[in-house]
Structure 1
Amino acid sequence: MSSNGNSSAEAGDGTPLVPKLRFPEFAEADGWKEIPLQKLAQPVTDRATTGYAGSVLSLSGQHGLVLQSEYFGKKIAGDSTDRYVKIRKNDFVYNDRTTKASSFGTIKRLSAYEGGIVSPIYKCFRFQPSENPVFWEWYFESGSHDPALGGLVNEGARAGRFNISVTQFLSTNAWRPDEAEQQKIADCLDSAEALIAAQGRKVEALRAHKKGLMQKLFPQEGEAQPRLRFPEFEAMGDWAEERLESLAKRGSGHTPSKSKPEYYDGGINWISLADSKRLDNGLIFETDIEISAEGIKNSSAVLHRAGSVLISRDAGIGKSAVMALPMAVSQHFIVWTCDDRKLSNWFLYHLLQQSKPLFDRAATGSTIKTIGLQFFIDLRFRIPSRPEQQRIADCLNSLDGLIAAETRKFDTLRTHKKGLMQQLFPQVGEDEE
């Protein structure tokens, strides 16, 4: 590919646009030309007939256009099907009530099915046969669009929603290259998306493998031995049932008075509900909020040592982590500091992860469910010998490391695709470099 510094022009002045990155065969080609969308596409207004028995489709912001159900002569959401719109493969759909003004990625192309019907809340349009629908799908996802569309959105927007009709949408302009360049861009981005999808499947397969392995490495409820053991421990017999408090020191936390600014921003990591997103990922390195030594001194908060294992007792019930540094916690967490001669902290972490169904059952409450302190005081688990604990922890930690590495690859591919799109499509209104 080649780079081109003449990247854009102001919308509406008729000047062709040139993307920052072009394939070599198009490096000397003319710039992309501005054209009204209504010359390339038209609204879809075909209505379903009464008693239509084909596929009913639903637009999902996360999953695109997906098969929702089959229609068997009954009413759907209180409407008869004669108000539904008939669409076919490669038609585009958006819901002006949910599509965000800031994101054109929720304008979806029907790609998985040959056709079907959609609720009248969806706005539908169809490109001419000469246009490449895959190119236009990527075009909308790239965010490259006429700034005039933003004006229409702002005029009718409610809570940041699109809130414009398909006719208004098609009255705006688009910039398009010739058919050969459209195809090249579509093929390139489809290939990138296929790589991302393959990497995503790899990550999910590893997660499923770990889940299945954990179910075998820990005894099932009512059993005294796991179904899978490392060879050196096969003759070791049953795991002993132990009260967790006999193996680890239980601790909790507190929230220093928020009316005292000197109790906060003092460099001591303090795990609160705001850190829920950081749990269930092994080590926790940082927190949203820090407290001070004064905050600990004047409250019931405690500084727990690095390596301590924590679990959430209410919001995000059962989520756990291992402290990478000395940290304090709020009253929403229980902390265990393991006696290393008896219990591996990493074994305990994985055991807590495997025991989430137990914690879900223990939670009570009508609005916010929580686990009472007595449950943790009485908590008992079947525990193997210290060497077997370490073997299991090392195995699962290695698998977690592999999952983390493959997840980073997945994220890198997505970031690469996003950056690629920003360069393959001219960004309207950018200053020339």
Structure 2
Amino acid sequence: MNKNNNNTPQMRFKEFKNTGEWQEKYLWQVTIWDKKFKGVDPKKQENTIKYYYYLADELKKLIREKGTVKILTTNKTNFFTNEEEVKYTLTEGEIICIPWGGNPIIQYYKGKFITSDNRIATSKDINILNNKFLYYTLINQLKLISSFYRGIGIKHPNMSQVIDMNILLPSIPEQQKIAEVLSTADELIDAERRKLEALKK
């Protein structure tokens, strides 16, 4: 695959900014997070959604081949577990998360899940912000988010900087359209990657 291809989802996201009217919002204005963050004005985080956080070693023991509950680690993985084993700690929803420690990545999931120590966000109002659109917005801002990670050894994000990021929002129909286009592009890229991996094997 050509690494210089400008038709990636991230590059195509930028193209949409040239069309229609976009309104500017701070991230804290349109999202709810899993914790109240240090150094953040309480008015910016009037509500939170609490989750149960597993340790990495605990999650490893819960991996099941035919599980139906997503295990959200702090890396991009495709692990699942059985609902019966985690029925008191699972959550169902549509979320975006970034790792509390380590390398910054953006993950999206919709459905039943359990999580390790991720910082988790969801839209305050899906009539204003589409969660899948938020996912692609944050991917497009990954370099900036990476600059908010600090520390010696394992780095952690400065969440006061993260939630103060500016994001641009078109109308909900446009957000949905953009998310669908980029999601289709992701699927095609993943399919090509799987083909290449199969050929290597």
Larger radius of gyration: 1
Paired with 1:244 and 1:320, the residues of 2 have a C-alpha distance of 15
Aligned twin of 1:244: 27
Paired with 1:328 and 1:412, the residues of 2 have a C-alpha distance of 30
Superposition TM-score, scaled by structure 2 size: 0.71
**Structure number with higher relative contact order (C-alpha < 8 Å, ≥ 6 residues apart):** 2
Counterpart code for 1:309:
I
Paired with 2:130 and 2:93, the residues of 1 have a C-alpha distance of 13
SS at match of 2:76: helix
Superposition TM-score, scaled by structure 1 size: 0.36
Paired with 2:106 and 2:112, the residues of 1 have a C-alpha distance of 16
Paired with 1:352 and 1:244, the residues of 2 have a C-alpha distance of 10
Aligned twin of 1:272: 73
Match of 2:127 among 314, 337, 341: 341
Match of 1:315 among 77, 83, 102: 102
The structure-2 alpha-carbon separation of the partners of 1:414 and 1:212, relative to structure 1 and needing over 3 Å to count, comes to same
SS at match of 1:209: coil
List runs of 5+ in structure 2 lacking aligned partners. Answer: 36-50
For the Cα contact (< 8 Å) 1:320–1:353, is it kept in 2? yes
Match of 1:292 among 86, 95, 112: 86
Count matched residues: 177
Paired with 2:149 and 2:189, the residues of 1 have a C-alpha distance of 30
Shift of 1:344: 1.2
Aligned twin of 2:53: 255
Paired with 2:199 and 2:116, the residues of 1 have a C-alpha distance of 37
Aligned twin of 1:212: 11
Paired with 2:120 and 2:33, the residues of 1 have a C-alpha distance of 6
Aligned twin of 1:59: none
Compute the RMSD of aligned alpha carbons: 3.2
List runs of 5+ in structure 1 lacking aligned partners. Answer: 1-199, 218-225, 279-284, 297-302, 416-433
Counterpart code for 1:255:
Y
Q: Percent identity?
A: 23
1:158-173 aligned at under 5 Å gives the runs none
Paired with 1:289 and 1:388, the residues of 2 have a C-alpha distance of 37
Paired with 2:136 and 2:165, the residues of 1 have a C-alpha distance of 16
2:184 equivalent to 1:385? no
Counterpart code for 1:346:
K
Paired with 1:244 and 1:326, the residues of 2 have a C-alpha distance of 24
The structure-2 alpha-carbon separation of the partners of 1:205 and 1:404, relative to structure 1 and needing over 3 Å to count, comes to farther
For the Cα contact (< 8 Å) 2:25–2:167, is it kept in 1? yes
Q: Deviations over 1:219-255 (max 9, x none)?
A: xxxxxxx2x33xxx3xx3xx22213233232225453
